């Protein structure tokens, strides 16, 4: 957390700095000797809070706050003065200072104040991140198609990067769901450590069911925080790896717009299948994947083994056996072009995904036979299996109908039914012809139109009642789906009702 202390007396700055660091050792404290320096510092670092002495040479503390305040709307201002003057206190209130401290500052008062500052800063950051997350959900799920105007509205120069998290596992859907919940509970708990005023963060599920962490930054400090967050995920996925469970990270390049980010993520998802030849439970960049994509023999093997795994997990015996036979033939015919590292990476991927025996370099024929045996065992299992499970898509639609007004996400819904987001997303799209988030949004817009038909319901109330905490984001979506703004819809509906009455 960045804090500014503005005071023309060095001893006063040092005393307050020592007290603050005693309370919160992790603070980054910056100093200003007068009002002009204060304005320059807050413009540069956008601090969470600023302790400002009133009487300073040149611009007074109050004049500096009045000038700098609009530039840093999230900064919390605290007046520090040696003069108990009612006019000063009145002016501080007008400038929306959150507190007014008399020198010498009482350490207990300062402790209480710092708790308040931290809580407010956290709430501000959470709100900012939620708005960014809403934008990212709408972007990746195709809920808003034209971002040119919306994207630049009140936004400073920025860059965006994304980290996609892909899971491979041979566990049951319930076990995979529990593993995802554990991983992301750890990620969410750690994210506040990387909060920064120059960084917005979002965690969300892509239409494919893969998770993504997205960061938008406006300074090098924000970029460094995002890099540290992504690096912490690299360490985490290695820690949680098990023989039948692996999470692989795929990193985007730096993007300068939402359109470029969408294109980048689309490309990365198309290339992510190559992870099976270079190693799961690792962190790969687009450059890493493109290097592999240039090797025709390897890409052919990757596509085939990925398809075989998918057919096995769907319990499609014939398709699995045909595909695994094709993989074995391709592998055998190109054996001299395949490194031992690639072979072991492929084996590790298959072992993790469908619990196939691991390849021993000197016993490839035995490995091939074990892959075929898995298919035979699959047929055996399918013949003895009796399906008594209720239809998952029907249950999901009923769940959406009941909970659309709440904080409804693909992740929470998948968790409710103990399946992975990937499984639910794929099944839902296959059966309904639309993605989960598109279905939810269309339902919400229909409900919103009903609400807005009531002249007593305001736009903000309608937004809240269909599940949107941000009226701004609701308005964007309504315009995209209905073709006009909510206020225009209300006005037009009222006019039609009036014309009908006259008629």
The alpha carbon of 94 is separated from its chain's Cα centroid by a whole number of angstroms, namely: 37
Helix or strand holding residue 102 (H, E): strand 99-102
- Is there a contact between 168 and 176 (Cβ–Cβ < 8 Å)? no
Residue 153 is predicted with a pLDDT of 47
Whole-prediction pTM = 0.84
CA dist., res. 316 & res. 369, Å (int): 18
Residue 232: exposure state from Cβ atoms within 10 A (0-12, 13-18, ≥19):
middle
- Copy the structure tokens of residue 143: 């809920």
Residue 466 is predicted with a pLDDT of 94
Homologous superfamily of the 2-105 domain (CATH): Response regulator (3.40.50.2300)
* DSSP bridge pairs for 213: 163, 203
* CATH number belonging to the domain at 392-502, selected among 2.40.50.100, 1.10.10.60, 1.10.10.10, 2.40.50.140: 1.10.10.60
Helix (H, G, I), strand (E, B) or coil at 23: helix
CA dist., res. 373 & res. 363, Å (int): 16
Find the DSSP H helices in 241-339.
258-271, 275-278, 286-293, 296-313, 317-333
Closest Cα to residue 241, out of 161, 349, 382, 333? Answer: 349
Helix (H, G, I), strand (E, B) or coil at 409: coil
**Tens digit of each residue's pLDDT, the chain (503 residues):** 899 999 999 999 999 999 999 999 988 999 999 989 999 999 888 899 999 988 888 888 888 888 888 888 889 999 888 776 656 666 777 778 888 888 888 899 999 999 999 999 999 999 999 999 999 999 999 998 777 644 544 455 689 999 999 999 999 999 999 999 999 999 999 999 999 888 999 999 999 999 999 999 988 889 999 999 999 999 999 999 998 999 999 999 999 999 999 999 999 999 999 999 999 999 999 999 999 999 999 999 999 999 999 999 888 888 889 999 999 999 999 989 999 999 999 999 999 999 988 888 678 899 999 998 888 777 666 555 545 456 899 999 999 999 999 989 999 999 999 999 999 998 898 888 889 999 999 999 999 999 998 889 999 999 999 999 899 999 999 999 888 999 999 888 766 555 554 55
CA dist., res. 278 & res. 274, Å (int): 7
Question: Domain coordinates of the chain in residue numbers?
Answer: 2-105, 127-384, 392-502
The alpha carbon of 53 is separated from its chain's Cα centroid by a whole number of angstroms, namely: 40
Ordered DSSP codes for 203-243:
EEE-TTS-EEEEEEESSHHHHHHHHHHHHHHHHHHHHH-BT
Residue 62 is predicted with a pLDDT of 86
Q: Crossing angle of helices 296-313/340-354, nearest 10°?
A: 10
**Residues 6+ away with beta carbon under 8 Å from 212:** 136, 140, 162, 163, 164, 165, 202, 203, 204, 205, 206, 265
Helix (H, G, I), strand (E, B) or coil at 488: helix
Angle (CA) 461-156-475 rounded to 5° is: 20
CA dist., res. 170 & res. 270, Å (int): 22
CA dist., res. 274 & res. 167, Å (int): 14
């Amino acid at each position: 957390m960045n804090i500014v202390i503005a005071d023309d007396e060095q001893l006063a700055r040092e005393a307050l700095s020592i007290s603050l660091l005693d309370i919160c050792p992790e603070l980054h404290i910056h100093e200003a000797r007068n009002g002009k320096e204060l304005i320059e510092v807050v413009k540069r670092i956008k601090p969470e809070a600023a302790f400002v002495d009133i009487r300073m040479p040149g611009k007074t503390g109050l004049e500096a706050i009045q000038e700098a305040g609009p530039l840093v709307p999230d900064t919390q201002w605290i007046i520090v003065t040696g003069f108990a003057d009612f006019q000063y206190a009145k002016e501080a209130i007008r400038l929306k200072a959150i507190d007014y401290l008399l020198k010498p500052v009482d350490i207990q008062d300062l402790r209480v104040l710092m708790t308040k500052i931290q809580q407010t800063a956290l709430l501000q950051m959470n709100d900012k991140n939620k708005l960014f997350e809403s934008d990212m959900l709408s972007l990746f799920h195709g809920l808003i198609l034209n971002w040119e105007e919306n994207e630049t509205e009140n936004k400073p120069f920025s860059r965006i990067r994304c980290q996609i998290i892909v899971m491979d596992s041979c566990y049951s859907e319930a076990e995979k769901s529990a593993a995802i919940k554990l991983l992301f509970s750890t990620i969410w708990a750690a994210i506040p450590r990387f909060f920064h005023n120059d960084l917005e963060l979002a965690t969300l599920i892509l239409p494919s069911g893969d998770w993504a962490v997205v960061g938008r930054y406006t300074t090098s400090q924000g970029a460094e925080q995002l890099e540290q967050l992504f690096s912490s995920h690299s360490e985490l996925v290695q820690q949680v790896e098990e023989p039948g469970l692996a999470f692989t990270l795929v990193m985007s390049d730096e993007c300068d717009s939402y359109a470029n980010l969408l294109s980048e993520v689309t490309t990365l998802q198309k290339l992510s299948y190559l992870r099976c030849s270079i190693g799961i439970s690792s962190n790969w960049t687009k450059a890493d994947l493109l290097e592999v994509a240039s090797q025709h023999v390897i890409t052919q093997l990757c596509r085939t083994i990925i398809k075989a795994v998918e057919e096995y997990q769907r319990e499609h015996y014939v398709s699995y056996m045909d595909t695994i036979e094709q993989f074995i033939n391709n592998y055998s015919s190109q054996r001299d072009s395949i490194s031992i590292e690639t072979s072991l990476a492929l084996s590790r991927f298959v072992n993790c995904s469908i619990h196939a025996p691991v390849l021993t370099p000197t016993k490839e024929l035995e490995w091939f036979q074990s892959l075929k045996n898995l298919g035979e065992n699959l047929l055996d299992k399918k013949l003895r299996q009796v399906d008594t499970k209720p239809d998952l898509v029907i249950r999901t639609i009923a769940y959406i109908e009941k909970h659309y007004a709440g904080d409804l996400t693909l992740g929470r819904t998948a968790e409710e039914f103990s399946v992975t987001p990937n499984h639910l997303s794929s099944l839902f799209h296959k059966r309904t012809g639309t993605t989960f988030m598109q279905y939810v949004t269309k339902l919400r817009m229909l409900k919103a139109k009903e609400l807005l038909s009531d002249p007593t319901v305001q736009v903000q109330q309608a937004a809240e009642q269909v599940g949107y905490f941000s009226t701004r984001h609701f308005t964007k979506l309504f315009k995209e789906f209905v073709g006009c703004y909510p206020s225009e819809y209300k006005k037009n509906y009222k006019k039609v009702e009036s014309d009908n009455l006259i008629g």
